[in-house]
Amino acid sequence: MFLKRIDVTGFKSFADHTEIAFSPGITAVVGPNGSGKSNIADAIRWVLGEQSARTLRGAKMEDVIFAGSESRRPINYCEVSLTLDNVDRHLGVVFDEVTVTRRMYRSGESEYLINKQPCRLKDIAELFMDSGLGRESYSIIGQGKIDEMLSTRAEDRRGAFEDAAGIVKFKFRKREAQRRLTETDQNITRVDDILDELERQAGPLEAEANRARAFQELQEEHRALDIGLLVSDIEEQTERWKQAQAAALQAGENRDAVRLALADVEQSLSTWRRNLENHRQSAELLQRQHVEAIERRERLQGELALHQERAKSGSATIEDREKQLSSLAEERAELQADLERVLLRQNEIAGQMERKQGELEAAAHAVDPGVKARLEADIARLNEEYIELHHHSAGFRNEIKMAEEYLAQDSQKHDRLSAERVRFAADEERLVQELGQWQEEVEVRKSELQELTRQIEELSTTQTKQAEAEAASVAAIHHAESETASLVSRLELLTELENGYDGYALGAKTVLQAASKDRLTGIHGPIAGLIQVQKAHEVAIETALGGALQNIVVDHEAAGRAAIDLLKQRHAGRATFLPLSVVRSRLLQSTERSKLQGQPGVVGIASDLVDCDSQYRQVVEHLLGNVVVTDNLVHANQAAKILNYRVRIVSLEGDVVSPGGAMTGGSISRKGPGLLGRSRERHEVERLIGERRERVAALRERQQELRQSIEQTVEKQRQSSVRMNEIRAGLESARSRTQDATNRVESVRDRLQTLDWEISELTVGHKSWEERLKTARQGLADVLLAIEKTEKSLAETRRILAERETSLSEAQDALTAIRVEMATFMQEQSTVEQQIADLRTRIHRLARRQQQLEQEIRELDASRETELRAADEAAQTLIEVETDVDELEQKTTVVRQEVQQMESDVAELEQTVRRRQQELTNAEEQVHRAEVAEQRIDVDLKHALNRMGEAHKMTYEWARQHHRLTVPAAGARQRAEQLQRQMNQMGQVHLGAIEEWERLSERLQFLTRERLDLRQAEEQLQSVIAELDEEMSKRFYETFEAIRQEFRVSFRVLFGGGKADLTLTDPEDLLETGIEVVAQPPGKKLQNLNLLSGGERALTAMALLFAILRVRPVPFCVLDEVEAALDEANVGRFAQQLRTFSDETQFIVVTHRRGTMEEADALYGVTMQESGVSALIGVRLEDQGFDPDMETA
């Protein structure tokens, strides 16, 4: 097996998909520091399951995802795939090629795949287990990890040896077996505990089951009689219910008719409201469109004025430029005329000089040669010099005159332009100040507009919230009114039940009804109506009183006797009476009270938990003064025990511990409040009705306040809209003035720029003329000195010539005169040439300025045309907008009138709805009264039917067919009472004991078998663990000895001598012993590993690594700069060892060292041509002429 390929996408600095192909042998990965070459080793470690971000040189696992660079955005996931050649089935799977993939998203989710099939991290770990590969194996040695092989504790160093010994899988199996053994021990303990408990329960439960079977026989007979009696009662109540139902049906039909009428009116109202809301929205939409049209009109007016002003400003600027252009044209024409005049003069001088030249040649021929010729030659030379000097003198004088004239003109023009610039600069300062004021005005208007817009938005939000609040208030009012109506109906029902003494026995009901009709005197009422109890204590007090709730309190014994006589006369049953004159309190003794103090769960004495009028206190204490109330049955048992079972104790749940220790309890079936709860509920309902009515009044007041607030908000919105229109108009005006001021500032600045250019040109020309003037004056002075000297030499020569040849005087004079004239013409010709050059320079300068002005005029004219076209478009659009404003204003007026009319119609419909609602309320009250009567009967009937179903688990129809009474009802009731007494004498009977005993017996048998199975499993697991320990010890020791021998050899090879050894820290415990490394480099004493140099430690660790690889070769090994601390000689030894092992192990080496690269079969270069993104360059060294001197830094 070997590593064929790595595919990396988005992992650390490898942003793009990168495929790295490997072949057997040695592959070196090189590159500059920081290029990302070590990320390849990290990618291999990561895909093999590494879970530590620190090991991967990161702070958190998300750091392995490409985080972006200066030119790239971060990506959201990374993926690394490792493809292995598995033809030799090294991994133990049937595939020739195995690809392991790990993918991670920035959200933290991870995926693992084997051959593109999803799997778990555990599956990958098991795949590579005992293969020499894995994230913690010796097949991946990262930066700094080579030294850790020596630096870690001896106990931690054994991991590589275990991997080499192939016992990792055995350790995994042992841990699994130990875990299962622990679970088995726990299960055995748990089963033993359960069996002990069940065996203790078995004896009492069997006796209880036998007693329950006897109780069931009595219960079945009693049940048959009870079913027959229920059938008789149901038949009687069914007939009464049918009559009440017919009355309720008629009332319901009347109510439905009213409800339909109300629905029609409400439907019409809803339709009108929707139409009204649509018209309101249309009005608001038209109003907004009208305001927007007005704003657009004002904006267009401002734009029109702005375009017109810009066009006007452009025309003025063009006119100014045209004036400048005309002035320049005139000046250029004048200069051109001057140039033509000077050129004409130049031609005249040339003709004259040609004629004089002929005369000069004729005069020269007239002179005799010889001495005269020599003297004349001297004179001629001096004359020529003299004429030349006069020529230069004339030129310098003309230059001085011309320079002085031009300097005077430039000074005047400079003064004029400077004065004009000062004036325009003052205009600029004034206009800039004016522009700043208008810009400030624009900002103020903008700020006001923003603030007003915010206020309008807040008002709109407020209006929406107020409308929602109003709607919620209306809904709350309807809900509260509905609740009030329901509570009123409930109150009427409770009052009717109380007035009719519903739920009371016939005797008590007869006496109370007679007393209400004044047929009996001295009757105060039943106990249930004379006391008040908190809801939490109701069940306990009702249980404690039981039937005594219907006992009737009377003034004296005579009143009681009169009531009893009435019952006898009417054959109306029996009742119990409590005369206030003779009834006395029955209270707990003080010693019993003191025993209860501080006892947990004791709520109090029952009589203390009851509120009543003072005159009835003795009656309450008579009934409840010796009854104790606790929170639950457990505390009731404890209290009974403390009081020696002499006092009756009742729990809040209704359980009872009677004197003597008997307990009564279970579930209580309550379909509604009892006699005590009914009175309390009536008071509670009356209180709730008052609260609901107060809430309705408060909600209606709140609704009125909300309506007023909405009206105020709407008015504020209208005022704000008007103010906004004013501010927008002011803003547009300020913007127009700002633009006008801006245009004027730009025009002034353009003129200032032109003046600055002209002044600059004048300054440059002025300096040039000053320099020329200075040069001319200096030249003139020099020429004058030379002329004076030449005149002296010429005079002397002439004197000599006059003395020697007087005859030649006249000829010589003539010749001299001609030459002087020639010199004069030459001087004038030079002056004319200079004037021509100056005139042409000035004409060229004016022509260039004319071109600039013509270009400015063309640009200004184009801008003016653009502004004029924009002004025309704005004017046309303004006409259309004016039309829209008028149309929208008319439509808005019409829609507002329609809204007002619809609001009036909606108000009338709302009045009709309220009237119909009142009719519906009246009809519903009639229905409610009929339904209450029906429900009262229905409750009794359902109670009987429910009792049939709950108590006897059968339907009424089935019972009527199979359980009719075969004896008169009276006899059946007597027999049922007799059976009930017999069952009561049996006391508490646990009927479930029969089934519980059967289940307990079956469970005892099952758990006994289960305990036996667990014991056998425990023995098997212990045997497996012992076998695994023996096998692991054997393999570890054999592998350790083999690595020990190879380590000695590898150490000597790498060091060129020396000694090294491996020892066990605890030879007696091969499963836990640590491993010590002993090293003695050649020429040194045996010393602690920590005292070795960095290179020596690295070589020692490499020797250990090569020893492990010799004993247990791995398919491939990744080494990340492990030889960094070695010198060149040791790097060579290291590289030779790599070559030696490369036949069995494929090496991927991240390196900087030349010696390692020389041994490599393939070389990959990692670069960062793009900042932050690694790229790969690969080459097969056996196919290329590789120069190892390309060592990277």
pLDDT (0 to 100) of residue 99: 93
Going by C-alpha positions, the residue among 580, 572, 566 that lies closest to residue 620 is 580
Q: Is residue 845 packed enough to be buried (19+ CB in 10 Å), middle (13-18) or exposed (0-12)? A: middle
Q: Is residue 1154 packed enough to be buried (19+ CB in 10 Å), middle (13-18) or exposed (0-12)? A: middle
pLDDT (0 to 100) of residue 1046: 86
* pLDDT of 1192 strictly over 50: no
- The reply to whether the predicted model has a pTM over 0.85 is no
Structural contact between residues 1075 and 1063, judged by C-beta atoms closer than 8 angstroms: yes
What residues contact 76, with CB distance under 8 A and at least 6 apart? 65, 105, 106
* pLDDT of 929 strictly over 90: no
User: Whole-number mean pLDDT of the chain?
Assistant: 79
Q: How far is residue 242's CA from residue 835's CA, in Å, rounded to a whole number?
A: 141
pLDDT (0 to 100) of residue 148: 67
% the chain with pLDDT above 70: 88
pLDDT (0 to 100) of residue 975: 79
Kindly state the helix (H) or strand (E) to which residue 709 belongs, with its residue range.
helix 675-804
Q: How many residues does the chain have?
A: 1193
Structural contact between residues 238 and 975, judged by C-beta atoms closer than 8 angstroms: no
Least confident range from 678-692, 870-884, 941-955: namely 941-955
Q: How far is residue 455's CA from residue 1103's CA, in Å, rounded to a whole number?
A: 82
pLDDT band at 78 (very low <50, low <70, confident <90, very high): very high
* pLDDT of 808 strictly over 60: no
pLDDT band at 1185 (very low <50, low <70, confident <90, very high): very low
Least confident range from 96-105, 524-533, 600-609, 793-802: namely 793-802
Q: Which pLDDT tens digit goes with each residue over 386-423?
A: 677 776 777 677 777 777 777 777 778 778 878 877 88
pLDDT (0 to 100) of residue 1186: 46
Output 646 or 492, whichever has higher pLDDT. 646
pLDDT (0 to 100) of residue 303: 74
The C-alpha angle with vertex 159 and arms to 155 and 164, in degrees rounded to 5, equals: 135
Q: How many CA atoms lie within 13 A of 119 on its CB side?
A: 19
- Phi and psi of 347, rounded to 5°? -65, -40
Question: Sign of dihedral through CA atoms 510, 514, 519, 524?
Answer: positive
pLDDT band at 80 (very low <50, low <70, confident <90, very high): very high
List residues forming the annotated binding site: 32-39
Q: Can you tell me the mean pLDDT for 967-984?
A: 79
Token reading at 475: 């809904």
Residue 656: strand pairing partners: 650, 664
pLDDT band at 362 (very low <50, low <70, confident <90, very high): low
| Residue 441 CA: distances (Å) to CA of 438, 731, 732, 733, 993 | 5, 8, 11, 10, 98
pLDDT band at 671 (very low <50, low <70, confident <90, very high): very low
Pairing relation of β-strands 610-612 and 1173-1180? unpaired
* pLDDT of 834 strictly over 90: no
Output 774 or 814, whichever has higher pLDDT. 774
pLDDT band at 359 (very low <50, low <70, confident <90, very high): low
pLDDT (0 to 100) of residue 372: 61
Q: Can you tell me the mean pLDDT for 307-335?
A: 77
pLDDT band at 1189 (very low <50, low <70, confident <90, very high): very low
Going by C-alpha positions, the residue among 109, 6, 12 that lies closest to residue 65 is 12
Q: How far is residue 1110's CA from residue 1106's CA, in Å, rounded to a whole number?
A: 6
Q: Which of 240-249, 403-412, 468-477, 1148-1157 has the highest mean pLDDT?
A: 1148-1157
Report DSSP state, residue 32.
Answer: -
Token reading at 527: 């106990």
Structural contact between residues 1166 and 1179, judged by C-beta atoms closer than 8 angstroms: no
pLDDT (0 to 100) of residue 865: 84
* pLDDT of 100 strictly over 50: yes
Q: Which pLDDT tens digit goes with each residue over 1067-1096?
A: 888 888 888 888 888 877 766 667 777 778
Q: How many CB atoms lie within 10 A of CB 173?
A: 16
Q: Which pLDDT tens digit goes with each residue over 908-922?
A: 877 887 787 777 777
Q: Which pLDDT tens digit goes with each residue over 296-306?
A: 777 777 777 77
Q: How many CA atoms lie within 13 A of 26 on its CB side?
A: 24
List residues forming the annotated binding site for ATP: 32-39
pLDDT (0 to 100) of residue 370: 59
pLDDT (0 to 100) of residue 1183: 46
Q: Which pLDDT tens digit goes with each residue over 1046-1056?
A: 888 888 888 88
Pairing relation of β-strands 1059-1064 and 1116-1120? unpaired
pLDDT band at 101 (very low <50, low <70, confident <90, very high): very high
* pLDDT of 468 strictly over 50: yes
The C-alpha angle with vertex 1146 and arms to 1141 and 1150, in degrees rounded to 5, equals: 100
pLDDT (0 to 100) of residue 733: 78
Output 889 or 583, whichever has higher pLDDT. 583
What residues contact 960, with CB distance under 8 A and at least 6 apart? 231, 235
Output 1153 or 199, whichever has higher pLDDT. 1153
Token reading at 338: 């001057």
Structural contact between residues 706 and 714, judged by C-beta atoms closer than 8 angstroms: no
* pLDDT of 987 strictly over 90: no
Token reading at 1022: 């212990």
Q: Can you tell me the mean pLDDT for 770-792?
A: 78
Residue 3: strand pairing partners: 84
Q: Which pLDDT tens digit goes with each residue over 450-462?
A: 888 788 778 778 8
Q: Which domains are delineated in the chain?
A: 503-682 (3.30.70.1620)
Output 147 or 1109, whichever has higher pLDDT. 1109
Q: Which of 49-58, 275-284, 448-457, 573-582 has the highest mean pLDDT?
A: 573-582
* pLDDT of 1151 strictly over 60: yes
* pLDDT of 776 strictly over 60: yes
Q: How far is residue 798's CA from residue 694's CA, in Å, rounded to a whole number?
A: 148
Structural contact between residues 544 and 619, judged by C-beta atoms closer than 8 angstroms: no
pLDDT band at 628 (very low <50, low <70, confident <90, very high): very high
pLDDT (0 to 100) of residue 630: 94
pLDDT (0 to 100) of residue 670: 53
pLDDT band at 373 (very low <50, low <70, confident <90, very high): low
Q: How far is residue 474's CA from residue 832's CA, in Å, rounded to a whole number?
A: 109
Q: Can you tell me the mean pLDDT for 819-828?
A: 68
pLDDT (0 to 100) of residue 1188: 46
